Amino acid sequence: MSEAVTMDKIVSLCKRRGFIFQSSEIYGGLGSCWDYGPVGVELKRNVKNAWWRSMVEERGDVVGLDCSIMMHPTVWKASGHVDSFSDPLVECKECHQRWRADQLEKQECPACGGELTEARNFNLMFKTFMGAVEEEAAVVYLRPETAQGIFVNFQNVVSSSRKRLPLGIAQIGKSFRNEITPGNFTFRTREFEQMEMEFFVQPGSDEEWYEYWSRERFAWYQRLGIRPENLRLREHAKDELAHYAKACVDVEYMFPIGWSELEGIANRTDFDLKQHSSWSGKDLSYFDGVTNERYIPYVIEPSAGADRSTLAFLVDAYTEEDVEGATRVVLKLHPELAPIKVAILPLSRNERLVPLAKEVHDKVRKCFVAEYDDTQSIGRRYRRQDEIGTPLCVTVDFDSLEDGQVTIRDRDSLAQIRLPIDNLADTLKAKLSGEEFGTDSLWAGARA
């Protein structure tokens, strides 16, 4: 049985095994900024690749884009972010800590019980200066969402891709928000990565597409292994809606901090294109050759956080098992997300085993991310691979030198089976892409 997963356990595993480190740690760390280590960067890339595959590559109606982080400052006036992208901030008159007024249970400082100031609106956009002068005219913002780069390129994409509506434009990239109260590890940070797609549709068909994307995005997390009982959809109340949205539903995950937002799917109507049209003076309407109408498209936006979903995949995969009286920590990550797919482990550093193990590694690494490890005892190496979620371990032992076979160990069932080194990569590939991991006939035979 698995104990409750706490954020402390996740933070500790992430540091111990090289998923995530505190930014600038040797200088005492920088609040709410995190660095992805060797296995963390692979995990997060796999999350982003899985998103891109399902949102762009596997569809004929979505194309990609990669915009600059800094944009013309008028973009943020038109989008409403200069006026409306703020949270209510209060400050403690005693200890001067700052809090989000809408997140406080009592009208007193949560740290010292002191009296609080009146709430004022605090804009979350980071400002900086472009060029060699530091004056108001040179102010630019770090984007607080990737979406605006998509809206201002709508005409460029439509005319260059010669695509018709409904059409989606997808983008993955960094966003920045000067959050008043960041925290809970990578859940809320001031620099984070978003995976956003703006789906442009004919007005009137927007509600149908809103339903479609809500279902589609909810299913995506489950397809990648998140347990259904840890996911839910929550519709926003009218007074929660962002300034641009007619409706919004959150995909929520049961984090150790409770149910919290993973992703939002919003009906942004024609708000953004209309605003940019009026501020830029450019016509951003679309001529629909099928209906012979000209209109400003409506937009449905599934907007997910790459860091937040990576955290959810980590939490959901984290398992503690009792194996022969000892606790085994294992990350039961979906093989598509696992940072390392296969580990090649010679039983020891014996001079006869190492060359064969390296030969096996060279063959296997051509097909997928594979790690060679001959340090420490085999037990410790298995433990490390379990904790970083490696689905398959290949062990090269003395029998391998005689019979040309190796032992494959399945992470989840702990089943072991011997297989020939010839065509090993094909067998492993079949195993990794199998839907029911560890329960097909090959493995069932091995467990029997």
Q: Which structure tokens are listed for 139? A: 């102010």
Site for ligand GAP, residues 291 to 310, rule: CB under 6 A: 301, 303-305, 307-308
Beta-bridged to residue 86, according to DSSP, are 123
User: Measuring CA to CA, which residue among 436, 340, 324 is closest to residue 384?
Assistant: 340
Task: Give the nearer residue to ligand GAP in terms of CB position, either 172 or 357.
Answer: 172
- How would you class 1 by CB atoms within 10 Å of its CB: exposed for 0-12, middle for 13-18, buried for 19 or more? exposed
**Site for ligand GAP (CB under 6 A): how many residues?**
19
Whether residue 386 contacts residue 393, with contact meaning beta carbons closer than 8 Å, is answered with no
CB of 308 to ligand GAP, least distance (A): 4
Beta-bridged to residue 193, according to DSSP, are 174
Task: Give the nearer residue to ligand GAP in terms of CB position, either 305 or 438.
Answer: 305
Whether residue 289 contacts residue 297, with contact meaning beta carbons closer than 8 Å, is answered with no
Is residue 145 part of the contact set for ligand GAP (CB under 6 A)? yes
Instruction: Please report which helix (H) or strand (E) contains residue 304, including its range.
Output: strand 298-305
- Residue 195: count of CB within 10 angstroms of its CB: 23
DSSP letter assigned to residue 70? B
Is residue 179 part of the contact set for ligand GAP (CB under 6 A)? yes
Strand order in the sheet with 120-123: 98-100, 86-91, 120-123
Task: Give the nearer residue to ligand GAP in terms of CB position, either 171 or 407.
Answer: 171
Candidate segments 98-106, 110-118, 186-194, 313-321, binder of ligand GAP by CB under 6 A: 186-194
Over the window 101 to 140, marking each residue x when it contacts ligand GAP by CB under 6 A and - when it does not, the resulting string is ----------------------------------------
If phi over 0 gives left and psi between -120 and 50 gives alpha, with beta otherwise, what is residue 310?
A: alpha
Candidate segments 92-100, 190-198, 393-401, 431-439, binder of ligand GAP by CB under 6 A: 190-198
CB of 372 to ligand GAP, least distance (A): 35
Over the window 246 to 285, marking each residue x when it contacts ligand GAP by CB under 6 A and - when it does not, the resulting string is ---------------xxxx---------------------
Task: Give the nearer residue to ligand GAP in terms of CB position, either 169 or 304.
Answer: 304
Task: Give the nearer residue to ligand GAP in terms of CB position, either 173 or 389.
Answer: 173
Task: Give the nearer residue to ligand GAP in terms of CB position, either 272 or 373.
Answer: 272
Instruction: Please report which helix (H) or strand (E) contains residue 386, including its range.
Output: helix 378-388
Q: How far apart are CA 2 and CA 329, in angstroms?
A: 9
Using CB under 6 A, list all residues that contact ligand GAP.
145, 147, 177, 179, 188-189, 192, 194, 196, 261-264, 301, 303-305, 307-308
